[in-house]
Structure 1
Amino acid sequence: MIGIATWARALFATPLAAILTLASGAIMAWLGWQALSWLLLQAVWPWQPAAACDVRTGLCWPFLVEKTRLILFGTYPFGLQWRATLASLLLLALAVLTGFQMIGRTRLHLLAFLAIWLGGLGVAVLLLGGGALGLPDVPSVYWNGLPILLFLAIASIAGAFPVGVLLALARDQSAYPLLWRFATIYIEVARGVPMLTVIFVGIFVLPLTLPPGTSIAPVSAVLIALIFFHGAYIAEDLRGGLQSLSKGQREAAKSLGLGYWQSMGLVVLPQAITRSLPSLVNSIIGAYKDTSLVVIVGIHDLISTARMSFNDPEWRGHALEAYLFVGLWFFLSCAFLSAIGRRLHTDRETAQTSSSQNR
């Protein structure tokens, strides 16, 4: 009660604060009523006829019931969408496992964790593409909606991490000017151009660099471009972690007889990654959301399949429902990533407080 009273006094401390509080409350109440009316009071429920959506102004559930599979999987063959469903669930499981591993809910050995990752990613690609184990082949041009969003986001971030580690280590080597300058130029250029430019390079320029007679699927070209683009951001996050460590860590590793790669792998990098985890999570959230830009080059992610759903002449005028569905998905998935980031930040502050008290 004391906290509520203090909070109330702060909101009405001055006449201006009271006016702003009352105005904000009125606006929020109006917006809340409009949302409640659209979601519930004026909604057309799944058991009601679809024709009622032309009369009532609320949420049209019959549209979502009919178009959910199109939004989720686009033009992926209808009879094979169970494969796209399993691939999406597997990719989501890998993302959740990674989050739990980062916050300590699971404590898998690094090699076991990498084996699960590579195996899960391989099975997901096999399910989506087929062509083996009796699964009919499905060209990547039909990998639409949620599967392609998850595949590009998860695979590009997973591939960008080792690239970022190598770039961060190279930029940390001021004793080797050529290596340091190459890493510096690459990182600054990659971070200085829009992501859309990199995607266009992957689609239109990368195939030109291949030997005559060879080709690369657009999904593969975009994936390669995303890996090297996100690698530059991850490298900067890791470089911050490397610079935050005292030189004594490297000197201690050297005094134990460890070589460069041993000291980096066993002593320096684990601490640098731990210190960089909050910023890494922030970069991962940005990379995940930015993956939707692939729609510009004709890859049909959730945004594109949502547009397909309301382009149907029978369902024109229901773009809000389609984009609300997509927005809810991004909100929930980004909320999970944000929760991981907050937990990592809290754990780091707790560890720092405990270390200070022990001293």
Structure 2
Amino acid sequence: MEQTVLRPNQAPPAISRITLLRKRLFGSVRDSVLTLIILAILITLGRVVVNWLLLDAVGPWGDQAACANAVGACWPFLVEKHRLILFGTYPWDEQWRPFIASLLLISGVVASMIPRWQDKRLIWIWVGLSIGFTVLMRGGIPGLEYVQPERWNGLPVLLMLAIFGLVFAFPLGVVLALARHQDQLPAIRAIAVLWIELVRGVPMIMVLFLGLFVLPLMMPDDITLNPLMTTMIALVIFHSAYFAESVRGGLQTVPTGQYEAADSQGLNWFQKTRLIVLPQAIKIAMPGILNTVLGAYKDTSLVVIIGIHDIMATAKMSFSDPVWQRYGLEAYLFVGAWFLATCWCLSAYSRWLERRTS
């Protein structure tokens, strides 16, 4: 038999994807049997899902009475209740305001992902978006009716807690990581270690309860915090500990030679950290940071336990109506589709960012 001899720097012959897939799935009798079993299960489940979602379902603009006898999904329920799921008890005639406010926050996230905007302009963009979000949601100015924060529900609350919580938690986590990484100030290092280990050692729901019930008691009498503000502070405290550990892992992998090179150039600690060490550490820690962002975004839905009406709470409100009590699955599918789409976008961005930085 003739053997293919590769010259130096010559790549091996490419194997077609079909051939590679066939070898992986049907390379042996055991693999073939397992592949066929899995395919049969997937086909069976796929038929059940397609029948429930489409074939046996009542169309979005179908007759509501037909849902009583349908064996599939009742999509008229979402047509009727989608505004309640998205905006909750916010005044019906004013729900264009939380819609635009949500678009502002989403546009801010998109702007933050564009590389050419990742400079000082981004800070001013977020300042403007934050002011616009607050004005739209709160009102109280000529032309906008005042709406109490207790009536802020649904998607805007989720976006506000998740985005602003992460925006403030990340720099705090960087400070905690730097404080724990250094050894010139042992007292500061001990405080950072205590903060990080204490927060990471308790469940998130405990931090939320402490923020909701204990934090207001610690404030002066002339300062009152609404539940949304205290919840956001609790989220910042909780997520900052996880950001700190991700960044500290990056700091520990920066070679010692980088520190010595910075010292040889006469840079002080702040210049060395800002210009040399921290950019390399954040680049190395980027996968862990983005994983923390995804987890924090999804964990924000836990605020429903302490009475904050985010999109999970409004989904439950939507099928509390006696007429629609049977259709909770449709409501949670709507919320699940939102989380799936947004998390997929964040995951795709994280993969692109890792390829770009590598």
Which TM-score applies when normalising by structure 2? 0.92
- Find the counterpart in structure 2 of residue 290 from structure 1: 299
2:173 alignment partner AA: G
**Residues 39-188 of structure 1: matches in 2 within 5 Å?**
39-100=53-114, 106-108=115-117, 110-188=119-197
Contact 2:112/2:118 (<8 A) preserved: no
Deviation digits for residues 211-261 of structure 1 (CA, Å, limit 9, x no counterpart) = 224321000000011111111111111111111111222232233332221
Q: Aligned partners of 2:40 and 2:230: how far apart in 1?
A: 51
Q: Does 1:232 align with 2:241?
A: yes
Q: Aligned partners of 1:109 and 1:339: how far apart in 2?
A: 18
- Find the counterpart in structure 1 of residue 26 from structure 2: 12
The structure in which a higher percent of residues are helix is 1
Deviation digits for residues 176-212 of structure 1 (CA, Å, limit 9, x no counterpart) = 2111111111101111110100000010000110122
Gaps of 5+ in 1: 101-105, 352-359
Deviation larger for 289-298 or 172-181: 172-181
- Find the counterpart in structure 1 of residue 12 from structure 2: none
Q: Aligned partners of 1:265 and 1:213: how far apart in 2?
A: 38
Contact 1:99/1:337 (<8 A) preserved: no
- Find the counterpart in structure 1 of residue 17 from structure 2: 3
1:20 alignment partner AA: L
Contact 2:247/2:282 (<8 A) preserved: yes
- Find the counterpart in structure 2 of residue 307 from structure 1: 316
Q: Aligned partners of 1:115 and 1:213: how far apart in 2?
A: 31
The alpha carbon displacement at 1:45 in A equals 1.1
Q: Aligned partners of 2:183 and 2:304: how far apart in 1?
A: 40
Q: Aligned partners of 2:117 and 2:27: how far apart in 1?
A: 53
Deviation digits for residues 81-130 of structure 1 (CA, Å, limit 9, x no counterpart) = 11100110011111122233xxxxx3125211111112212211221112
Deviation larger for 116-125 or 283-292: 116-125
Contact 2:319/2:328 (<8 A) preserved: yes
Q: Are the structure 2 counterparts of residues 300 and 109 from structure 1 closer, same or farther at C-alpha, using a change threshold of 3 Å?
A: closer
Contact 1:42/1:58 (<8 A) preserved: yes
Deviation digits for residues 151-195 of structure 1 (CA, Å, limit 9, x no counterpart) = 000000000011111101101111221111111111011111101
Deviation larger for 39-48 or 12-21: 12-21
- Find the counterpart in structure 2 of residue 354 from structure 1: none
Q: Aligned partners of 1:6 and 1:82: how far apart in 2?
A: 52
1:127 alignment partner AA: L
2:343 alignment partner AA: C
Number of matched pairs: 344
1:261 alignment partner AA: F
- Find the counterpart in structure 1 of residue 213 from structure 2: 204
Deviation larger for 62-71 or 242-251: 242-251
Q: Are the structure 2 counterparts of residues 133 and 230 from structure 1 closer, same or farther at C-alpha, using a change threshold of 3 Å?
A: farther
Rg comparison, structure with higher value: 2
Gaps of 5+ in 2: 1-14
Deviation larger for 211-220 or 236-245: 211-220
Q: Does 1:246 align with 2:260?
A: no
Contact 1:278/1:344 (<8 A) preserved: no
Deviation larger for 32-41 or 243-252: 243-252
1:23 alignment partner AA: I
For the aligned residue pairs, the C-alpha RMSD in angstroms reads 1.5
2:63 alignment partner AA: P
- Find the counterpart in structure 2 of residue 280 from structure 1: 289
Question: Aligned to 2:40, which of 12, 19, 26?
Answer: 26
Task: Please identify runs of 4+ aligned residues in structure 1 that moved more than 4 A.
Answer: none
The alpha carbon displacement at 1:35 in A equals 1.1
- Find the counterpart in structure 1 of residue 11 from structure 2: none
Q: Aligned partners of 1:323 and 1:273: how far apart in 2?
A: 36
Q: Are the structure 2 counterparts of residues 162 and 9 from structure 1 closer, same or farther at C-alpha, using a change threshold of 3 Å?
A: closer
